[in-house]
Amino acid sequence: MADNISESRENFRFQAVVVTVGAVLMIIKFVAYFMTNSVAIFTDAMESIVNVIAGMVGLYALFLSPKPPDKDHPFGHGRVEVISAAFEGMMILGAGLIIIFSAVESLYNPKPLEQLDYGLVIIFAAAVVNLIMGRTAIRIGKRNRSQALEASGRHLCTDTLDSMGIIVGLVVVVVGMRFGFNVAWLDPVMAILFGAFIMTTGARVLKGCMDTVMERAEEETVNKIVECLREHRHDDWIDIHALRVMKFGTRYVVELHATFPKDMTVGQIEDETQELEDCIMGRFGDCIELTVKAEPCRDFSCRLCSRECDMRVLKFVSKVEWDEDNMVRKKQHSLHDE
């Protein structure tokens, strides 16, 4: 539990840094926009507004997420991170639409571009800071299983890509204008392209939230659990099936059905269940809440069980080779499943 609390605090502290730095960069980018009248730079500044607002929502989510379960929230408050990430996705989509509308208007009512060289320096510096913050947020979010912090980091990295694209485009505009070419129209065109790219990013964030809400299988976690169970498997664990993994913020709720020999006492089954729990908790720590449903073996289980038993009715043939596909099946395995 101490490790989980420490991770949650780390997530919260870094998200607070993200919000603070984002607010400073937002002000700097708007200064660059008013200096240059560049719609492309306005694109970058608008996305910074999204960064700050979404970052504040994410900060609240990371404050609420580690709170322990209570009567009204028996699985804890971790799903608030999904709400935060979904809000950020909608904010990104909205920013993309505003950028595209502003760029289209600028095509028909262009403003003269000024001091683009200074604007370029400002946007480049902001892009470097965003990249560092974004990569760090993704790394910490993945390590601490925080969907909100990871979404925030991906947004910042997307912002960096936008900025670099804008910089390249504005360099072309500056060089073209220096040689007397009328290339100012590239500025709103770039804004339209990057507005569309921003909307694509928002859609991806929303899809990730929908996958979580719809309980899409946590494939990576399932694979690690299966690997762990295979490593510690012994004869008393005849079969394991109906494996389910659900994510609640930084915590996972894991359920599985375990088949034990039917001649075992309640005390022996409790010992085996505790061994299963120790096996999984030893790999994942206290971020896992495990529920094991113990089931007695059936007559057909004899073919899969190598254990010496006075209640055997069929000869042993071979064990079930556990993998990610057959362990999520709801029924006990039989030789016909092979």
> How far is the C-alpha of 69 from the C-alpha of 5, rounded, in Å?
14
Side-chain-side CA neighbours of residue 240 (13 Å)? 29
Please say whether the beta carbons of 205 and 92 come within 8 A.
yes
Please say whether the beta carbons of 326 and 256 come within 8 A.
no
Name the one residue in this structure whose structure tokens are 């362990």: 327
> How far is the C-alpha of 10 from the C-alpha of 12, rounded, in Å?
5
Q: Tens-of-pLDDT digits for all 338 residues of the chain?
A: 445 567 777 878 888 888 898 899 889 989 888 888 887 788 778 878 877 887 787 778 777 766 777 777 766 666 677 777 788 788 778 878 887 887 788 778 777 777 777 888 888 898 899 889 888 988 888 887 776 777 778 778 877 877 887 788 778 877 887 777 777 777 788 778 878 887 887 888 788 777 766 655 567 788 888 888 888 888 888 888 888 887 776 678 888 999 898 888 889 989 988 998 888 888 877 777 888 899 888 888 888 888 888 888 888 888 888 888 888 888 887 766 54
Torsion (CA) 32, 34, 40, 41 in degrees, nearest 10 = 20
Identify the helix (H) or strand (E) that includes residue 288. Answer: strand 288-296
Please say whether the beta carbons of 226 and 244 come within 8 A.
no
* Domains assigned to the chain: 2-213 (1.20.1510.10), 219-337 (3.30.70.1350)
Handedness of CA 328, 329, 334, 338 (dihedral sign): negative
CA distances from 73 to 79, 80, 255 (A): 10, 11, 18
How many other C-beta atoms can be found within 10 angstroms of the C-beta atom of residue 248? 21
Please say whether the beta carbons of 149 and 137 come within 8 A.
yes
> How far is the C-alpha of 123 from the C-alpha of 41, rounded, in Å?
8
